[in-house]
């Protein structure tokens, strides 16, 4: 899969992961919200999956997040690496302290973690828990959390403890954020609540995380402001400016800040434990991978992580001998279609997709890669019949798997790539895609742009809010300009010009 620029800042260029012989114990654990692959035993991978599902269950219970249609196809795929050394090789240079990482994408959100995720090694667990909290909080295409709360809740939930009796404890001390609040001046409540409207320095971003964690902890567990946080978010989502929403929900902000400072100085902040009998892991199916899938998995992981042109060529050379041994394994061949595609070996990619489809005619991913190759051909030929052929494969993939967002996005993008205005079906496709994968900023940008074209600026701002107010984009002048224009309800042509300047018109294919 191509690399995306929004992968978090500490993840720089990728270093190839040297393939090691499989231990012939590769397993897959499939559950409602996760698909876990690991070269570990059946009981180990089941336990890993159970822990993740218990965490998901606790988050849903506390936040009230509901399941969305097609959620089973928007699962996070978790690839387990043997240890931190292998994980850091995969992450790339500059990743000496990385203990795990997460990549959100409409091609499939995925996480790369070490095999062991236990409370004695919180560095890996907290990263997974932080990023999965974001994944869940972005589960709505039109409802949003302000920047401080999005990061505050992720920091709140990342230190969750999974207890041996099956219960889950939240609200534990976040020592890094507690230190930041003690060593430096915290943001006042009014500054924090207004942070979506202001450009933040690097120092401010650090305090956004710390003060956001503190205010979240206070409003959730402090005990003297019940229901205020839910009311505040509801008012924001109903179009109230932050000042009005804050006044209605919290009352006097000076009093809120005094209460927050008193809470910061409190020894032994409250924690909350969700009993085991209130949590559910759902059904977890564990199966051993077929020999071909086990053999190709190290290369599959490298591809899923993301490759640059040089790495793509190296990966093809490494993976081809394995794929040649398993010409009748659909998983191997669809993996090879992706690897060859990233290396721009179009004929080889299409041939691998054809082999996969000969084995499994309903394999949507193989249909997608066949369509992608034909779309490349159409980009060069500029022939209408080639574009029609490419789109036919995206449509077939959608029919094979209606809850798969990727063919919907590719169908929509094909019109821009062909220099055409998207037809009604393409607009319907991208609107469906954001319902399926609201976590993907790439889809939000496409939908937001489409809504601006249709002059629905209020809905465009709601859809784009998680992108506009991401803590990772607080210093981006172009994003600030788009936000300003949307708030001013500028002419659609002006907003679209700003989006073009920010390169929000690129398909990335």
- List, in sequence order, every beta strand (DSSP E) within 247-404: 272-274, 285-288
Query: Is the pLDDT at 4 greater than 60, yes or no?
Result: no
| pLDDT of 40 | 94
Pick from 24-38, 190-204, 300-314, 322-336: least confident: 190-204
95 or 507, which is more confident: 507
The pLDDT tens digits of the residues spanning 105-121 come to 888 889 999 887 544 44
Closest to 247 (Cα-Cα) out of 189, 186, 198, 197: 189
Please state which architecture CATH assigns to domain 309-501. Alpha Horseshoe (1.25)
CA 207 – CA 371 distance, rounded (Å): 46
What is the token pair recorded at 280?
């559910």
The pLDDT tens digits of the residues spanning 449-492 come to 999 999 999 999 999 988 888 765 555 788 889 999 999 999 99
Beta bridge pairs of residue 2: 307
- For residue 36, what is the enclosing H or E element? strand 34-38
| pLDDT of 73 | 65
Measured over the CA atoms of residue 294, residue 296, residue 299 and residue 303, the dihedral's sign is: negative
Q: Residue 8 — pLDDT band, cuts 50, 70, 90?
A: very low
| pLDDT of 19 | 40
Query: Is the pLDDT at 280 greater than 90, yes or no?
Result: yes
CA 307 – CA 313 distance, rounded (Å): 9
153 or 199, which is more confident: 153
Entry pTM = 0.87
CA 208 – CA 257 distance, rounded (Å): 15
Q: Name, in order, each residue with C-beta under 8 angstroms of 399's C-beta and a sequence gap of 6 or more.
A: none
3-state secondary structure (DSSP) of residue 32: coil
Measured over the CA atoms of residue 193, residue 196, residue 197 and residue 201, the dihedral's sign is: positive
Query: Is the pLDDT at 102 greater than 70, yes or no?
Result: yes
Question: What is the bridge-based pairing of β-strands 272-274 and 168-170?
Answer: antiparallel
Q: From residue 144, how far is each of 96, 230, 233 by CA, in Å?
A: 34, 12, 8
Give the DSSP per-residue string, 48-100: HHHHHHHHHHHHHHHH-PPP-TTGGGSPEEEEEESSHHHHHHHH-TT-TT---
Q: Domains of the chain: which residue ranges?
A: 1-137+286-306, 173-270, 309-501
Mean pLDDT, the chain, whole residue set:
88
> What kind of fold does domain 1-137+286-306 have according to CATH?
Glutaredoxin (3.40.30)
What mean pLDDT comes out for the span 110-136?
A: 77
What mean pLDDT comes out for the span 273-297?
A: 96
For tokens 């089941």, the residue is 46
% of the chain with per-residue pLDDT over 70: 90
CA 248 – CA 228 distance, rounded (Å): 9
Rg, Å, the chain Cα set: 23
12 or 295, which is more confident: 295
The pLDDT tens digits of the residues spanning 225-259 come to 999 999 999 999 888 889 999 999 999 999 999 99
Measured over the CA atoms of residue 450, residue 452, residue 458 and residue 463, the dihedral's sign is: positive
Query: Is the pLDDT at 212 greater than 90, yes or no?
Result: yes
CA 134 – CA 5 distance, rounded (Å): 18
Collect contacts of 224-229 with beta carbons under 8 A, ≥24 apart: 224/259, 225/250, 225/259, 229/149
What mean pLDDT comes out for the span 281-297?
A: 96
CB 444 within 8 A of CB 434: yes
């Amino acid at each position: 899969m191509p690399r995306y620029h929004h992968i978090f800042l500490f993840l720089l260029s990728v270093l190839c992961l040297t393939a090691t012989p499989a231990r012939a114990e590769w397993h897959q654990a499939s559950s409602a919200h996760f698909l876990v692959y690991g070269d570990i035993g059946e009981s180990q991978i089941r336990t890993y999956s159970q822990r993740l599902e218990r965490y998901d269950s606790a988050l849903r219970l506390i936040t009230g997040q509901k399941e969305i249609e097609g959620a089973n196809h928007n699962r996070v795929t978790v690839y387990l690496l043997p240890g931190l050394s292998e994980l850091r090789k995969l992450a790339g240079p500059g990743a000496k302290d990385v203990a795990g990482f997460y990549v959100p994408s409409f091609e499939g959100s995925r996480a790369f973690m070490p095999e062991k995720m236990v409370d004695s090694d919180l560095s890996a667990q907290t990263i997974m828990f932080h990023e999965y909290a974001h994944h869940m909080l972005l589960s709505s295409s039109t409802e949003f959390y302000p920047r401080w709360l999005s990061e505050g809740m992720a920091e709140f939930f990342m230190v969750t403890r999974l207890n041996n009796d099956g219960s889950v404890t939240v609200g534990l001390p976040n020592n890094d954020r507690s230190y930041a609040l003690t060593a430096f001046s915290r943001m006042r409540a009014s500054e924090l609540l207004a942070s979506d409207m202001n450009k933040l320095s690097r120092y401010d971003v650090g305090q956004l995380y710390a003060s956001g964690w503190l205010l979240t902890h206070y409003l959730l567990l402090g005990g003297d402001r019940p229901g205020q946080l839910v009311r505040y978010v509801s008012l924001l989502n109903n179009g109230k400016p932050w000042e009005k929403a804050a006044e209605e929900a919290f009352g006097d902000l000076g009093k809120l800040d005094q209460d927050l400072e008193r809470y910061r100085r409190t020894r032994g902040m409250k924690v909350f434990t969700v009993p085991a009998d209130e949590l559910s892991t759902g059904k977890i199916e564990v199966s051993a991978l077929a020999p071909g899938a086990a053999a190709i998995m190290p290369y599959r992981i490298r591809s899923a992580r993301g490759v640059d042109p040089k790495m793509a060529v190296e990966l093809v050379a490494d993976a081809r001998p394995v794929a040649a041994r398993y010409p009748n394994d659909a998983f191997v061949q669809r993996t090879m279609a992706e690897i060859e595609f990233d290396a721009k070996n179009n004929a080889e990619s299409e041939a691998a997709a054809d082999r996969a489809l000969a084995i499994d005619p309903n394999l949507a991913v193989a249909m997608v890669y066949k369509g992608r190759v034909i779309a490349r051909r159409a980009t060069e030929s500029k022939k209408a019949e080639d574009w029609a052929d490419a789109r036919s494969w995206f449509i077939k993939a959608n029919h094979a798997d209606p809850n798969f967002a990727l063919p919907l996005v590719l169908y929509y993008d094909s019109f821009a790539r062909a220099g055409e205005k998207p037809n009604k079906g393409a607009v319907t496709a991208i609107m469906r895609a954001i319902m399926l994968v609201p976590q993907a900023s790439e889809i939000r940008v496409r939908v937001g742009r489409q809504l601006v074209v249709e002059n629905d600026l209020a809905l465009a701002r709601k859809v784009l809010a998680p992108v506009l107010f991401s803590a990772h984009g607080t210093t981006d002048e172009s994003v600030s300009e788009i936000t300003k224009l949307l708030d001013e309800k500028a002419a659609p042509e002006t907003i679209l010009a700003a989006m073009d300047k920010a390169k929000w018109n690129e398909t990335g294919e």
